[in-house]
Amino acid sequence: MVSVDGVLLSKEAIFDTSSLTGEFKPKYVKQGGEVLSGYILKEGVAEVRATKSYKNSTIYKLIDLIENAALKKSKVEKFMTKFAKIYTPIVVLIAVLMTIIPVFIFKLNPDEWILKSVIFLAVSCPCALVLSIPLTFFNSIGIASKHGILIKGGNYLEGLNNIETIYFDKTGTLSEGAFEIIEIKPFNISEKEFLTKLEMVESLSNHPIAKAICKGCEEQKIDFTYYKEEQGLGIKASVKDKDYMVGSDKFLKLNNINFKEAETIGTKINLVINNEYKGYLVIGDNLKQGAKELVTTLKKDFGKNLIMLSGDNQENVEKVAKELGFDDYYGNLLPDEKLSKIKSKKSMFIGDGVNDAPSIMASSVGLSFSNFSSDITKEASDIVIVSGGLEKIKTLFLIAKHNKKVLTQNIAFVLLVKFLVLIMGSFGYVMIWHAIFADVGVSVLAVINSLKSFKLKEK
């Protein structure tokens, strides 16, 4: 691993940049190119001249962001905390005034008004809310757990209803995060022969794309008369009387090969035999099952603004974002640049890599997946999907929506009953035991209503 930022002195090198960008595709760097701390050399030896000290390097900034991002987190204040700040002082003040004003100003019977004040305090006791609200959260978190979703606090469940913008990482979160053949387009050659020739040429290469192409194919013993791999471009090879070229569009242009360019999402690998273009295949990162449906649901049913933040190149990010229907998108982002894009205070970040941890910690609610997220990312997250995939995000919002509905019902019911009993008590129609019974009875009904959370059904 490269420990400090620098420039490459060697002729060329291939680096794994996933710890910084989250992208599985290796980066080809030429002599004089920038090499960031956190890059991992894929093979061979590379000489790098340091240009920055460790404390000014990229990997140090990432560690610092992870350690301090929580300080920027938007605090989600629990409803009971906000409610108690207003409700309790007002109730106590009214009870005191109910005794002082009639007795000391209007010289009324002190026994009568002290009793009314006590009845007022008994009816106003927030036991129903104190019991039902935590129980509602407890039940909802329990339901989420049964659905394979770990929520680390009731305030995060409550905060989901206030989320306006959801930021998504791309690679590994919305896509599979692995090289796969996603398209094959042979010209004047059968698909089987096209793949056989391509696998033959790629068989000696250690490049991750070559390994993905050759994955599962039978080992071929080929006597190459010529073989040259040009890093970052392609391969030239000769077998008996045939010359082969396998590589990128740029590689073909440099060798004056005529071919049709095509728009693709992924890495295009071309095949040329004896200077005749034979087609291409595309190595890419397939979208996860349910990605399109999730985006549609979050926008249509929950009214969320969706933004994609990725370390992948802007062109790929744009194509994927438009295919899925995102509102906005940004590519070529390092961890600190991702963090700077999170503008909304009512935000949620969904990611899987170490590079996503600062953004997850800084968002109002951060979410990751247990099955394919890094340990650092899961530790930084407020919510972790333990089992299942993207479909669980919809389930999570349904649980949050139901939780809010039950809370609203309980609060409205409790306050309405208490208000009516207080009015009746002020005219002398309520005795102290009636007030206590009304408070306890309301508490029981509110608790029973809270148990409705267990009846939540995923639609």
Q: Tell me which residues are annotated as active site.
A: 169
Q: Of 307, 232, 237, 309, which Cα lies nearest the Cα of 274?
A: 237
Distance CA 395, CA 217 (A): 40
List, edge to edge, every strand of the sheet that includes 180-186.
Answer: 180-186, 276-284, 267-273, 242-247, 234-239, 226-230
Distance CA 123, CA 103 (A): 21
**DSSP output for 261-286:** ----SSEEEEEEETTEEEEEEEEE-P
Query: Structure tokens of 237?
Result: 């090879």
List, edge to edge, every strand of the sheet that includes 347-350.
Answer: 149-151, 383-385, 365-369, 347-350, 165-168, 305-309, 328-330
- 135 DSSP β-pair partners: none
- Residue 281 class from Cβ within 10 Å (0-12 exposed, 13-18 middle, 19+ buried)? buried
Distances (CA, A) of 312 to 241, 284, 444: 40, 12, 55
Contact 269, 282 (CB under 8 A): yes
Contact 298, 397 (CB under 8 A): yes
